[in-house]
Amino acid sequence: MSRIPETSFTQCDGIDIAYQVIGDRGLLDIVYIPAFVSHLEVMWELAEFAAFLERLASFGRLITFDKRGTGLSDRIPGMATLEERAGDVGAVMDAAGSDRAAIAGWGDGAAVALMFAATHPERVSALVLGSLGVKVAAGSGAPLVPDPEVVRAMSDAVVSGWGRATFAAVVAPSRAEDKRFLAWYRRWERLSATPNAAAVLSRWMLEFDADPLLTAVQAPTLVLNRTDSLFDREAVRAVAERIPGAKHVELPGIDATPYVGDADAYLDEIQEFLTGKRGVCDLDRNLVTVLFTDIVGSTERAEQLGDRRWRYLLDEHHAHVRRLLDGFKGVEIDTAGDGFFATFDGPAHAVRCAAAIRDSVREIGLEIRAGLHTGEVERGGTAVTGLAVHVGARVAALARPSEVLVTTTVQTLVLGSGISFTDRGLHSLKGVPGRWRLFAVAGSQGFR
């Protein structure tokens, strides 16, 4: 999990609006308006979403918020008007000290972005629109109207089981069988809105009329869509045609959610549009310390406790690990079963975190083994690959119960840190050439 930025609050018409600012003020501010519902802090718990936001923030200072009625913002009675929702954008920009910004919105967030751009052109430097739920009414030159098929699909997903990730199949069908994603999405639904609030928001999609706003947009505009998502391709193209000078880009994919699927293709287009520069390469190479952990005797313990009690214990284990990763500036990359894979910028933080995890989970009756290695990795989207990853995993597999095992590289890099080690000799690592000298972390003093 990425470190969660601080959440602040401002008011618009007496309604508290939660917002975050990522990065320092510079030449470009970017306001990101999420689609449908959102939760500012839960979104950072999904690696894909965090990576999407972090790359947006690399183009400029990123400002994002929970729309009224969702997430950490105030719940409201009834249905907010488009004017009120656009007012929230201005209030958040004022609170963040932003006079002018590029506005990026998806779904109903795109409608809010359009309204703000049309009514406050002096405050909008550029407009990025994605996943617009519109269709062209019958007849040549007919107006664009809300697409009832899209609204029906959204409403049905809400009614059929809000809080059970039913919405994910509509907006992120490529991940409909991904257990890790669905576990996060269930939490995302529950904390972003109540079932009643989600139902009101889905009906709101039938109320707004984007057509009169399009010709009033003065800012340079980029309109994005994926070819096989639930949004009508011809209607999205028509939106771009009716906004003066707008650029329309259609990319392959079935997901409406921008951080799912080939998110980098979307971000490449946005980066080039906003900065004039395109991402040089999908892969980023850098030196990191990788940490792998695994629960000792998990199969036997699960059989002893039964499925339900084991699930509760596993959830508590995960909470301990995530709290410590956050405290030691680690980034969760993957969770497979009962193990964690995380990366750190510095090896000392990584070693101390591993030892703290070992000591912390003892309090709930669990033992872990952990392995660490420092080396160069490749990053492509949310994936982290390379020989260093394989080495770290193999080192963890050799660790004894409650042992934190590291390579010579890690041991050498933390000299002078006060961390002491016990030499565990030379070992062969499956699938990795050569013989590797390994060291066990001695003691846990000062690791909390």
For 353-404, how does the pLDDT look when each residue is reduced to its tens digit (9 = 90+)? 999 999 999 999 999 999 999 988 887 666 788 889 999 999 999 999 999 9
State yes or no: pLDDT of 243 exceeds 90: yes
pLDDT of residue 206: 66
pLDDT of residue 29: 96
DSSP structure string for 281-324: -SEEEEEEEEEEEEETTHHHHHHHH-HHHHHHHHHHHHHHHHHH
| Region of poorest pLDDT, from 124-128, 150-154, 183-187 | 150-154
pLDDT of residue 132: 82
pLDDT of residue 377: 87
State yes or no: pLDDT of 2 exceeds 80: no
> Rounded mean pLDDT of the chain?
89
pLDDT of residue 282: 43
For 30-51, how does the pLDDT look when each residue is reduced to its tens digit (9 = 90+)? 999 999 999 999 999 888 898 8
pLDDT of residue 149: 83
What's the whole-number mean pLDDT along residues 405-426? 92
pLDDT of residue 260: 93
Confidence of residue 448 (pLDDT cuts 50, 70, 90): very low
State yes or no: pLDDT of 445 exceeds 50: no
Positive/negative CA dihedral, 170, 175, 176, 178: negative
Number of Cβ within 10 Å of residue 142's Cβ equals 12
What's the whole-number mean pLDDT along residues 206-234? 86
State yes or no: pLDDT of 447 exceeds 50: no
pLDDT of residue 27: 80
| Region of poorest pLDDT, from 27-36, 282-291, 415-424 | 282-291
pLDDT of residue 142: 63
Q: Which residue has the tokens 């406790």?
A: 305
Main-chain phi, psi angles of 261, to 5 degrees? 80, -150
Main-chain phi, psi angles of 41, to 5 degrees? -95, -35
State yes or no: pLDDT of 280 exceeds 50: no
Please name the helix (run of DSSP H) or strand (run of DSSP E) that holds residue 191, with its range, or none: helix 179-192
State yes or no: pLDDT of 163 exceeds 90: yes
What's the whole-number mean pLDDT along residues 311-336? 91
DSSP structure string for 11-49: EETTEEEEEEEES---S-EEEEE-SS---TTGGGGSHHH
Q: What's the DSSP call for residue 260?
A: S
For 136-160, how does the pLDDT look when each residue is reduced to its tens digit (9 = 90+)? 765 545 667 778 888 888 889 898 8
Confidence of residue 97 (pLDDT cuts 50, 70, 90): very high
User: pTM here?
Assistant: 0.65
Confidence of residue 255 (pLDDT cuts 50, 70, 90): very high
